Structure 1
Amino acid sequence: MVEGEMMWPSSLLPAVLYQLPESAFVTAMCVVSFASLAFAGLSELRGDHLAYSKFWHVVSGQQKRSVAAAGALLSGRTGMLVAYVPALVAAAVSFAVPGAVQGQRAQILAAALAVHFLRRVLEVLFIHRYSGNMPLNTALPISSSYLLITITMIYAQHLAIGLPEPPTDLLYVGVLLFTVGIAGNFYHHYLLSKLRKGGNDEKGYKIPKGGLFELVTCPHYLFEITGFFGFAMISPTIYALAMASGTAVYLVGRSFATKRWYKSKFEDFPVRIKLWCPISCDELGY
């Protein structure tokens, strides 16, 4: 049993997941992906933030770290392109690899992954506004992790070729969740971009307004989680489920950090805005 299975009733898993053949690679990736995401979420709770986060500069004395300690710096925009482009290329190229995406479910999964990362790249180029830099030694691990996630998700689905479909087929529910997730995520990213009308160099922060920002801290990450559970239903493998669960745990940790940050910066932060859902605006440079 891989670690991710412990989060779900054992009687439910066979009804919704493929019973994949043993794979040391997929099992290891399940454990590593879920554990690393959960650890990152706990780190956010403790105030230990990633080096591309706005919190890294302003919380817990981390603003005192030197540029030398952070490593070579990329612009925020370049750093995020480095993070996303390899995964986009991998998802697109999978259609050209013989046998990699056989069948409707595998093709929908690969297409959804390509759309997911294409949307991120387009947002980096045309929507997001950046006021900081990203260390190269942060951009490269993020890029590698997204690339591995994409490859592993497609490979785990590949292992299901010829296997019986799960008794409960959630493929089209997953497509719906993915569509809702990507649309809601984009819309709230767009609202965030409107906060900086003075251009990329404007560093003032504001309380986001509009959409679900009136109710929760950062709804764009609620939709991010929704999209990842869409992946898990499109490709009902234990790895996709472990990734969706790990992403949710990580973003919950960041929701605490974000609300704590907002309350420290804005005395008038509305009490009606709830913690759930996740969360932080800092991946976008906000």
Structure 2
Amino acid sequence: MVFPELLPSFLYSPPPSIFISAMSIISFLSLTHSGFMESKGKNMQYAKFFNNAGSIKTSSVDKKAKLSGRIGMVIFYTPPLLVGMASFAFLPNDGGLRFDLLRLALIIHFFKRVFEVLFIHKFSGEMEIEAAIIISLSYFVSTASIIYAQHLTNGLPEPSIDLMYVGILLFLLGITGNFYHHYLLSKLRSKGDEQYKIPQGGLFNLVICPHYLFEIIGFIGVSCIAQTLYALSFTIGTLFLLMGRSIATRRWYLSKFDNFPKNTRLKEAKKVFDTMSSRGCKPDAHSYDILINPDLLTCSVLFDIWVDFLAMDI
């Protein structure tokens, strides 16, 4: 088979570690399952979908201890940030430039998260303390596993295809785009305003969740820097998780806003082609069909496929 033969070309050989082998499977399955559950409406207990889900089981949920959304998010992201920083103290100069870049990328990622929680995001809801602890623990373990898996590559032959510098570019693109769209989201509500609005600006007119799109790009960058099986499995799992969350976001917008378009990117594409036609241009008919017919979207370029996955236009 081609795929198993291709793996050694861009991945380190899997280390003889039962823990990392098990975590590669567990991370992928748990993240994929979470994405599936999100797509079916069973949302995580810190999302706006959960807080606005209605009265089902409200009485049992209200009895559980809660804290503010901001404090809960700080609890999420502080432990993995500390893990990345501590790795420089406990594993100094362990794996050369690649190892240092990976740890630095993880530190930047979680520092950005904490910064956004403290200074960018607007919070109006609460979350259960139990959920905050569980999610924080999952971030802690996954970050430690990525670092430990990289530590175990010390002394192993480098992959024949070096993706480290490609990974740096993708990570920077992803984290910048993610931060920018988080900033746009924060501008939708003033302090004390609990009313949600349809996001505008950036790629929000093309993609329902561009912040998720760029987060996926960032994690692809991390996996390219690491080039380990665990980082790859975690990234693929994260992709499915955020796709599921994008489905939930689209469903939530449709339920809350009567004027929310059912097909964001395709409506914008149709406007472009209509404008071209009004100016005497005649775009290729096949290209027009691809952009306005959901049944033909799989014929579009790879970027459009990704956009449609996250916008859930297919």
Q: TM-score, normalised by structure 1?
A: 0.90
Q: Secondary structure at the match of 1:74?
A: strand
Q: How many residues align?
A: 271
Q: Which residue of 1 aligns with 2:249?
A: 258
Q: Which runs of 4+ in 1 moved over 6 A?
A: none
Matched, 1:152 2:145: yes
Q: Which residue of 2 aligns with 1:128?
A: 121
Q: Which residue of 2 aligns with 1:249?
A: 240
Match for residue 22 of structure 2 among 5, 28, 35: 28
Match for residue 44 of structure 1 among 19, 38, 49: 38
Cα gap change, 1:127/1:101 in structure 2, threshold over 3 Å: closer, same or farther?
farther
Q: Which residue of 2 aligns with 1:16?
A: 10
The answer as to whether partners of 1:86 and 1:143 remain within 8 angstroms in 2 is yes
Correspondences of 1:1-286 after superposition (within 5 Å):
9-59=3-53, 61-62=55-56, 64-69=58-63, 71-99=64-92, 101-197=94-190, 199=191, 201-274=192-265, 276=308, 278=310
The answer as to whether partners of 2:166 and 2:224 remain within 8 angstroms in 1 is yes
Q: Which residue of 1 aligns with 2:304?
A: none
Unmatched 5+ residue regions in structure 1?
Answer: 1-5, 280-286
Q: Offset at 1:9?
A: 2.0
Q: Offset at 1:61?
A: 4.7
1: CA distance, partners of 2:241 / 2:252: 17
Larger RCO (CA within 8 A; separation ≥ 6): 1
Q: Which amino acid aligns with 1:92?
A: M
2: CA distance, partners of 1:60 / 1:76: 18
Q: Which amino acid aligns with 2:96?
A: G
Unmatched 5+ residue regions in structure 2?
Answer: 266-306
Q: Secondary structure at the match of 2:308?
A: coil
Q: Secondary structure at the match of 1:134?
A: strand
Cα gap change, 1:56/1:188 in structure 2, threshold over 3 Å: closer, same or farther?
same
- RMSD (CA atoms): 2.0
Q: Secondary structure at the match of 1:10?
A: helix
More helix by share: 2
1: CA distance, partners of 2:120 / 2:106: 20
1: CA distance, partners of 2:54 / 2:240: 22
1: CA distance, partners of 2:15 / 2:60: 48
Structure with bigger gyration radius: 2
2: CA distance, partners of 1:62 / 1:56: 10
Cα gap change, 1:252/1:191 in structure 2, threshold over 3 Å: closer, same or farther?
same
Q: Deviations over 1:23-64 (max 9, x none)?
A: 100011111111011111111122111111111132365472
The answer as to whether partners of 1:217 and 1:277 remain within 8 angstroms in 2 is no
2: CA distance, partners of 1:62 / 1:187: 35
Q: TM-score, normalised by structure 2?
A: 0.82
The answer as to whether partners of 1:101 and 1:110 remain within 8 angstroms in 2 is no
What is the identity percentage for the equivalent residue pairs of Structure 1 and Structure 2?
50
Q: Deviations over 1:154-179 (max 9, x none)?
A: 11001110111101000000000000
The answer as to whether partners of 1:128 and 1:193 remain within 8 angstroms in 2 is yes
The answer as to whether partners of 2:163 and 2:224 remain within 8 angstroms in 1 is yes
2: CA distance, partners of 1:169 / 1:59: 46
Q: Offset at 1:277?
A: 5.3
Q: Secondary structure at the match of 1:176?
A: helix
Q: Secondary structure at the match of 2:127?
A: strand
